[in-house]
């Protein structure tokens, strides 16, 4: 299936979970937050969240700023 | 000696809050954090970059300073609310530095969106430290909306122009019911000292330190300046006099 | 960390020189001296008063600070020379803070008498720290006459108006061949920090501390402010910009 | 004999020395300087300086100042 | 010589708008109006007092100046709309100087109510000249809401503190799509000249003239100052230089 | 209406004195002279250049303005005396603008040589209008030496920085026994108005007009600004107030 | 009947019109505006507006201001 | 004979007067002043002043200036 992750189109195996995505995508899980289709997904539920075709996923982390 | 600096019931060990933006490297940032003696640093929330290893958090956590996520770059209350929630989730803190700017040229706050965002975030349980302009009425409104600290600018972000309108800062301080933090515009140590002399409870700055030729040295300067300004405020300065007043006795002169 | 502060070959342990005039009591003066961390204090020469016991010297000697006699009250080079010689005899030091003022209302230096006095005292072997106005040309002339430190005013003595003409102070610093000490006019900590940021080597103040509501606390503030201004000067401040410059990254924003 | 000391007319026994005057006049000798008729007199010579009728003596010390 | 000063398609014969408040008598007001050469004066709407005979209108109508009713004293958009409608009815003009202040101590505009009121009045067909603070973003919002002129303050009403933040006024002028009128804070002639040099299209003042020791003379001063500032703005001032630049030739000196 | 402006018994028809240096052409100078309404212009004395035809004098004589030779470029009292005598011989006037500068970088007056030169020129029968720094004591000394007008700088020649130390100008005005002319530093109209508001009797400027993008327009601006500042000074400005003061009645509000 | 005019309770003969009230109340009609119970009443309609018991009338005019 | 005029070495016929020099040198006599060997020479005496070998002559006039 194909999703948009941080603005890039990405192919993932069907049934992938948000937890799997974060692990593969982020250098370290610490300090990372995820939003799917504009809604924040609590860290504790990532393992139960199955991703679907066409979803917009945003993975954010803290950077130097402000 | 000094009274404690408290925001939303939490005491902070320093009246200097450091923004981490603009530091040329984590190493330089680390030195600046240590030299500043700060107890809280701001960070921005941006997309994960798979390439990068290490993070600003490594520095801040290692130094034991509180991390304050901001909403930099947000133009609307809606964007700010979502960004704040992501920051809360990522950093496990209900504290947020709220920024809602009108454009990228001036980086000035949009008063209408800012007030809306403050109400929304307070309603959603956030502890809101709000970056605002120097309008005393907007500052009042933001406090009525429940912000935990009001953070007026001295001058536009990164301009280094200091405090362009001290009169407004004094008006804000005079009626403030929450801590007042001078945020943005500081260029050098005397600006930070002046902010505290005007009665601000703390100073927040980033570029003045991170973009100085020697960030760690400027961080140390700012730490001393904030302390100096705070003490001067409490010590009760001499009045300004149009005319001179001798500091040596005029009596007992020898007849030479 | 900082380079040493040296006048006439002698290193001084602090860039804050404290004038002792105006302190309400020796006890308050003692607390201010300690809080200021100063290494040198000025005193005036006046007729012995048989009634009094104890002296400002007891405080200064006990605290191990260098004593710098001044010529406060003198109107002519002749008076200043005699007063300086009496100070040298009484305090066994060739150092003198030279003051030659034109009148008691403005307490401003008389440029002609001041230059004459500087030449005479230098010729008589004194180490002359000269209190002058902020005219860069007079400062140049005084250095040509051999003064050991040039001490321009920021504003009239005791006025607390700060530094009325920073441009002149910068011109004096730019061509100085001896230490520049900002003397007179300082009202609060940010004024002292600014003086150092302009490139002065030290600050001399009395009333700002001795006449503050809490002298010891203000003395501590001035100590920090001088250190802060000095570090900021060395750290290389960011340039002043007419327009804002973001301190958070503009790339990597989430699409919310 | 009568001299003027710090602006006051004072009677002193004939043959008084500057050293004696300073001792009687100043609470402590430390930090005191003396001028006779407008000339500074070095401390070391005070014992040899005999005062004379009508002289103007100034005894100065350090006080809080500028 | 100068380009015309136009608001909402109407040319005004003077760039000085005079507020009538504070004049000790109609006679003094009349002299000030004449001396100022103004083409438009503001008035407030208050309850008819059966006792009084004669009115400020007699003076203004006799002198042929346009009358601009204000909404002084209004705290909410609702009050302002009603007051504006009464002014329109009473004076038969769709023009209004919109004021919505937050309190009687600061007399500062309430940004939220002000923006609401602007939208309502524009929707109701008014030509809105809006008194605002010096926030460039609020000024932008008011223009987007359709105001005919934006009138930022230089300092609080009646304070005479001049222009506390010229930088903000420059930002407002730089992006303005309607005339910018500096309103409130002017204390003396040089303040009015500065406002025009910053690029404002006109100046509105009351107390600086009506409460001066000699109102008519100050009115004449303000007229000249506004003209001077406008011409200086158009003439292109010399740049500020840190260093001197000779105005006499350095060549051709005699060998004396 | 205004009281006459008199130097050494001669009434001048304008309080704006124009320096002619820096004008790109005689034509532009002529337009500026006319637009300024000045009654006196300064000129420098330089070696005759056989090549050139026509002279600044042609312009000034044709416009009927008084010609005031200066001693620009002189470094010593001796040079200034000789140059002044040549100017007197060439232009058949005992009036001279005395300049004795210390160097070509700062163009600041040398206080010692300036005082010597003033004494020499007064002794030689000159009417001395002396360009000096803003030191109130030197101004006093120059008046004691018999100058006909004291002309303190606002900022270095040609810098356009305005009046860097208004406090000193006020001190000079407060005790002046001859006319005070603000000379050098003026950059734009509001600077000239401020000089007059501080109590100066006139303003002397060159570069601000001759080097403006539109010299004639700036000359007209300066003429209005000087008049405005003079009237404002005489009219008695309102006091500066920390807090606002309503200019509309607070009573008689409708209950809406 | 009794009305409140500019905050004062006033008795008026029944059937009084707004036009009559303004004429009796205001020194000159020029520059006067009227609101009844919070609504602005156009000058042209004053003669047809009959006032009623208990109404709140505001009569405003221009004064020196801001 | 050779003189220095405004810094230039110039040859003049013997017996030349200052008046002759000024006339030949300056475009217009108006607004010109002359100094010979550092002393100002009054205009009225120019015709009687005979120049000599080696003299330093300065001829000045008014130019635009501060």
**F·H CB contacts under 8 A:** 101
Q: Is residue D66 part of a domain?
A: no
Catalytic residue among C15, C97, C141, C230: C97
Average pLDDT score over residue span C59-88: 95
| Residue C54 clears pLDDT 70, i.e. is over it | no
Reading the block at residue H30, the tokens are 């108006």
At C80, list the tokens: 């200043």
Domain presence at residue A66: no
- φ and ψ at residue C114, rounded to 5 degrees: -65, -40
pLDDT, position E110: 97
Q: Could you read off the pLDDT of C222-249 as tens digits, one per residue?
A: 999 999 999 999 999 999 998 888 888 8
- F76 — contact with chain C (CB < 8 Å)? no
DSSP, collapsed to helix, strand or coil, labels residue A34 as strand
pLDDT digits (tens, 9 = 90+) for H27-59: 776 789 999 998 999 999 999 999 999 999 999
Binary contact (B171, E106; C-beta < 8 A): yes
Distance CA G60, CA C6 (A): 76
Q: Which residue has the tokens 């104890």?
A: C54
CB nearest to C218's CB, from B235, B250, B252: B235
The alpha carbon torsion through F188, F193, F199, F202 (nearest 10 deg) reads 70
Q: What's the number of domains chain D is made of?
A: 1
Contacting residues of F for C140, CB less than 8 Å apart: 102
F81 band by pLDDT with thresholds 50, 70 and 90: very high
Chain E to chain H Cβ contacts (< 8 Å):
20
Q: Do H66 and F157 touch (CB under 8 A)?
A: yes
**pLDDT for the residue numbered B22:** 92
Above pLDDT 90, what percent of chain B? Answer: 89
CA distances, E18 to each of B184, E57, E120, G48 (Å) = 37, 14, 26, 38
Q: What is the pLDDT of residues A12-66, one digit of tens each?
A: 999 899 999 998 888 776 789 999 998 999 999 999 999 999 999 999 999 999 8
- The span from the CA of B229 to the CA of B192, in Å, is 7
CB distance from G2 to chain E under 8 Å? Answer: no
Q: Which of F97, F141, F227, F230 is catalytic?
A: F97
User: Is pLDDT larger for residue C49 or for residue E87?
Assistant: E87
Instruction: Give E-chain residues touching H9 at CB under 8 angstroms.
Output: none
* Contacts F53 to H, Cβ<8 Å: 27
Whether residue C206 lies within 8 A of chain D, CB to CB, comes out as yes
Looking at CA atoms only, how far is residue B205 from chain A in angstroms? Answer: 8
Is G66 part of a structural domain of the chain? no
Residue F229 has pLDDT above 90, yes or no: yes
Distance CA A30, CA B63 (A): 16
Using a CB-CB cut-off of 8 Å, the residues of chain A touching B93 are none
Nearest to A63 by CA among B48, F166, E66: B48
Confidence of residue C216 (pLDDT cuts 50, 70, 90): very high
In-domain check, residue A7:
yes
Residue F26 has pLDDT above 70, yes or no: yes
Q: Tell me: is residue F51 an annotated ligand-binding position.
A: no
pLDDT value of residue C31: 97
Interchain CB contact of B1 with D (< 8 Å): no
User: Residues E131-154, buried b or exposed e (16+ Cβ, 10 A)?
Assistant: bbbbbbbbbbbbbebbbbbbbbbb
* CATH of residue D41: 3.10.20.30
pLDDT the model gives residue F231: 98
State both tokens at E5: 């000063």
**Of E37, E65, E80, E97, which is the active-site residue?**
E97
Q: Which of residues 29-58 of A touch B (CB under 8 A)?
A: 30-35, 38, 40, 42-43, 58
Q: Is C206 annotated as a binding residue?
A: yes
**Is the CB of residue D9 less than 8 Å from the CB of residue D45?**
no
CB atoms within 10 A of CB E62: 10
Residue of D nearest to C47 (CA): D60
Give the residue numbers of B annotated as catalytic, written as ranges. 97
* Residues F169-205: tens digit of each pLDDT: 999 999 999 999 999 999 999 999 999 999 999 999 9
- D61 to chain C, any CB pair closer than 8 A? The answer is yes
For residue F166, the model assigns a pLDDT of: 97
Can you list the domains of chain C with their CATH numbers? 11-235 (3.20.20.70)
For the record, the structure tokens of B252 come out as 């007992």
Neighbours of A29 (CB within 10 A): 15
Closest Cα to residue C116, out of C137, C133, C98, C104?
A: C98
Q: Would the pLDDT of B251 be above 90? A: no
| Closest-CA residue to F229 (of F135, F163, F171) | F163
Residue B175's pLDDT is: 96
Residue C254: its pLDDT value, please? 84
The answer to whether A62 and B69 have CB atoms below 8 angstroms apart is yes
Q: Which domain holds residue H19?
A: 2-61
**Is residue C100 a contact partner of residue C82, using CB atoms and an 8 Å limit?**
no
How far apart are alpha carbons B63 and F159 in whole angstroms? 49
Known binding residue B184? Answer is yes
Contact (CB<8Å) B135/E106: no
Q: What is the pLDDT of residue E250?
A: 82
Domain membership flag for residue H25: yes
Which residues in chain F have Cβ-Cβ distances shorter than 8 Å to G61?
Answer: none
> Is the separation of the CB atoms in E255 and H35 below 8 Å?
no
Domain contains A26: yes
Residues 218-247 (F) with a CB less than 8 A from some CB of G = 246-247
Give B123→chain E minimum CA distance, Å. 20
| Neighbouring subunits of F (3+ Cβ pairs under 8 A) | C, E, G, H
pLDDT in tens, B31-69: 999 999 999 999 999 998 877 766 899 999 999 999 999
**B166–C contact, CB cutoff 8 A:** no
The CA distances from residue C43 to C110, C183, D65, E103, in Å, are: 21, 14, 5, 52
Alpha-carbon distance B209 to B179, whole Å? Answer: 23
Q: Is the pLDDT of residue C256 over 90?
A: no
Interchain CB distance below 8 Å, C171 and F141: no
Cα gap F230→G12, rounded to integer Å: 58
Q: Is C249 on the interface with A (CB under 8 A)?
A: yes
Instruction: Indicate if the pLDDT at residue B254 is higher than 90.
Output: no
- Closest partner residue to B197 (CB to CB) among C190, C197, C210 is C190
Residue C185 assigned to a binding site:
yes
CB F55 within 8 A of CB F242: no
SS (H, E, C) A3-27: EEECCEEEECCCCCEHHHHHHHHCC
Note whether D60 contacts C46, CB cutoff 8 Å: yes
Which residue pairs from D15-18 have beta carbons closer than 8 angstroms and sit at least 24 positions apart in sequence? D15/D50, D16/D50, D16/D51, D17/D46, D17/D47, D17/D48, D17/D49, D17/D50, D17/D51, D18/D46, D18/D47, D18/D49, D18/D51, D18/D57
Q: Å from B11 to nearest chain E CA?
A: 32
What are chain H's partners, defined as 3 or more CB pairs within 8 angstroms? E, F
In 3D space, the residue among B89, B52, C254 whose CA is nearest the CA of residue A31 turns out to be B89
Q: How confident is the model at residue F54 (pLDDT cuts 50, 70, 90)?
A: low
Kindly tell me the sign of the dihedral angle through the C-alpha atoms of C115, C121, C123, C126: negative
φ/ψ of residue E95, rounded to 5: -85, 145
pLDDT at H48: 94
- d(Cα C232, Cα B216) in Å, to the nearest integer? 10
Minimal Cα distance from B252: which residue of D?
A: D6
Does B232 belong to an annotated binding site?
no
SS (H, E, C) E5-69: EEECCEEECCCEEEECCCCCCHHHHHHHHHHHCCCEEEEEEEECCCCCCCCHHHHHHHCCCEEEE
Q: Answer whether residue C50 shows pLDDT above 90.
A: no
On the question of pLDDT at E18 being above 80, the answer is yes
- CA distances D23 to B231, C189, E124, F174, H50, Å, are 45, 44, 95, 49, 80
Which residue would you say has higher pLDDT here, F248 or E160?
Answer: E160
The structure tokens listed for D31 are 């930090």
Answer yes or no: is G8 within a domain: yes
């Amino acid at each position: 299936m194909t999703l948009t992750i941080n603005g890039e189109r990405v192919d993932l195996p069907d049934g992938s979970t948000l937890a799997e995505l974060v692990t593969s995508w982020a250098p370290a899980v610490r300090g990372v937050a995820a939003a799917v289709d504009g809604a924040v997904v609590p860290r504790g539920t990532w393992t139960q969240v199955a991703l679907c075709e066409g979803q917009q996923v945003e993975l954010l982390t803290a950077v130097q700023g402000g | 000696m000094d009274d404690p600096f408290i925001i939303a019931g939490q005491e902070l060990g320093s009246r200097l809050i450091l923004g981490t933006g603009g530091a040329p490297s984590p190493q330089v940032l680390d030195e600046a954090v240590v030299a500043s003696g700060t107890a809280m640093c701001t960070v921005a929330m941006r997309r994960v970059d798979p390439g990068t290893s290490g993070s600003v958090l490594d520095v801040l956590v290692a130094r034991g300073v509180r991390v304050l996520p901001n909403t930099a770059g947000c133009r609307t209350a809606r964007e700010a609310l979502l960004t704040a929630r992501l920051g809360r989730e990522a950093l496990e803190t209900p504290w947020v530095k709220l920024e809602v700017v009108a454009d990228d040229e001036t980086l000035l706050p949009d008063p209408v969106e800012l007030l809306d965002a403050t109400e929304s975030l307070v309603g959603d349980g956030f502890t809101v430290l709000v970056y605002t302009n120097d309008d005393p009425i907007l500052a009042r409104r933001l406090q009525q909306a429940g912000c935990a600290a009001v953070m007026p600018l001295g001058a536009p972000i990164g301009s280094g122009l200091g405090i362009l309108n001290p009169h407004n800062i004094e008006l804000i301080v005079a009626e403030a019911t929450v801590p007042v933090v001078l945020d943005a515009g500081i260029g050098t140590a005397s600006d930070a000292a002046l902010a505290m002399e005007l009665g601000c409870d703390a100073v927040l700055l980033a570029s003045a330190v991170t973009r100085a030729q020697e960030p760690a040295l400027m961080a140390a300067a700012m730490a001393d300046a904030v302390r100096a300004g705070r003490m001067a405020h409490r010590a009760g300065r001499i009045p300004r006099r149009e005319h001179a007043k001798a500091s040596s006795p005029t009596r007992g002169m020898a007849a030479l």
